[in-house]
Amino acid sequence: MTRATRARPPVDRATATIDTPVGPVRITVAGGVVAAVDHVQDPPDDAPPTDKLLIEAVRQIEAYFAGERRRFDLPMAPAASPFQERVRQAIIAIPYGEAASYGGLAHILNSGPRAVGQACGRNDLVLLVPCHRVIGAGGTLGGYGSTSGLERKRWLLEFEGYPGKFPSN
């Protein structure tokens, strides 16, 4: 017995790449939510976005870098798993200018630091879900995408006024 399948309606998708103090950031919206915010190597777009949600996402990210916004108020795509959603909410709860350790979040979530680190590594919504606020034991930076990502992470923490000192990783 076969099941009839209906074609899914096309999902409206729009992207914008903007310049930021930590390099270009690409914002993707689809289906009425912000689907991704990524650090990229692409040059910023020449034309401004036309999608309303994308315009608002760009506005909020630019306000963050102007020091005018500390939290984001945008609809976000659901996390890939219930655990990643729990990690996402724990990261969003870390106040601006503060940091939490992978181990500290793991303790709150009844998990392990490595699992928290892996969930951070899968974060598709950098800045909106501020995984740069999650640091290693003893104040080490931990990870942030790539080797050059650690400099971004350090810059973001310093920009937010995090008072910690960073030992070498």
Segment 129-165, tens digit of pLDDT = 999 999 998 888 888 875 568 889 999 999 999 988 7
pLDDT above 70 coverage of the chain, percent: 89
Closest by alpha carbon to 133, among 164, 169, 168, 167?
Answer: 164
Which DSSP category does 77 fall into? Answer: P
Q: Which amino acid makes up residue 129? A: V
Which pair of structure tokens corresponds to residue 30? 């689809």
**CA distance between the termini of the chain:** 58
Closest by alpha carbon to 125, among 36, 39, 61?
Answer: 36
Closest by alpha carbon to 22, among 148, 120, 169?
Answer: 148
pTM of the model: 0.88
Residues with a known catalytic role: 131
